[in-house]
Amino acid sequence: MIGAIIGDTVGSVYEFHNIKTKDFDLFGENSVPTDDSMLTFATADWILRGGEAWKPYCEYAVEYDDPYGGYGTGFLYYVDQFRKNGECPKPYNSCGNGSAMRVSPVGWAFDSREEVLAKAKESAECTHNHPEGIKGAQATALAIFMARHGAGKDEIRKAMESDFGYNLDFTLDELRPVYSWSFDGAALCQGTVPQAIRCVLEAENFEDSLRNAVSLGGDSDTLACITGAIAEPLFGVPRKIYKHELNILKALFPKLHKLYLEFEAKYGSRVI
């Protein structure tokens, strides 16, 4: 889970100011957790406390109502319905990448492939009930689960291609010149999850995976969030980077810092 939060923070300053290089300060000036992290914490809260997934998503969006980056328009309307009557809003058939960026706690909390896929679906479909939205969440969670249990890059790639039909037969060097906010599907699961997986497949370590993600452009914080989520169990997060992120959380969001430590104590992390 912390890999996702780190990726989101690293990518935050490049979301609206894309760069096309891997040469940048990892934690740039004003880099902060965004809406991606708020909803990732909501997923962790749901797993820890139980209940229905939709409720913490709405409650966190109300409590943290103005995060850097901002929530998507569809989700804002969804939350507005909750504000008005306190009831579960209807999902809005989204295949946006929000379902994948918030799912990482699922990959850590459950210990069978079947549970991971079921819980990833549950986390997604309360808002993102489009098949691609559910698929993006399931693929991300399964990649995390597989890496936690010792799967390597080749095994993860085969599963992503065979189980989810993702085409990973491209290189980042081929993609980088054409990938931006105007790229077809850059804010959708199908235009973000395969690219994030490729960022991990071509990486040498955790930090390199995030540099790959940011260098592509597009929705940089979400792309790096999903990339970091998968890279954490595969490579491990360097302790210096881990501590830096925790210090950011403690300073800016002490309640979320406490929640993270509770989640990590119960479900683990991979820090090296």
Domain ranges of the chain: 2-267
* Tens-place pLDDT, residues 95-112: 999 999 999 999 999 999
pTM of full prediction above 0.95: yes
Q: Yes or no: say if 55 and 86 are a contact pair by the CB < 8 Å rule.
A: no
Taking only the tens place, the pLDDT of each residue in 148-180 is: 999 999 999 999 999 999 999 999 999 999 998
Amino acid code (one letter) for 156: I
Q: How many residues does the chain have?
A: 272
Separation CA 127–CA 81 (nearest Å): 12
pLDDT of residue 249: 98
Crossing angle of helices 220-235/193-201, nearest 10°?
40
CA 47 to chain centre: 16
Please give the pLDDT value at position 181: 83
Domain 2-267, CATH class in plain words = mainly alpha
Q: Mean pLDDT in the chain?
A: 97
Whole-number Cα distances in Å, 42 to 162, 180, 207, 218: 30, 28, 25, 25
DSSP classification of residue 185:
T
- Per-residue pLDDT tens over the stretch 70-84: 999 999 999 999 999
Tokens of 51: 């209940």
Q: How far is it, in rounded angstroms, from Cα 128 to Cα 14?
A: 25
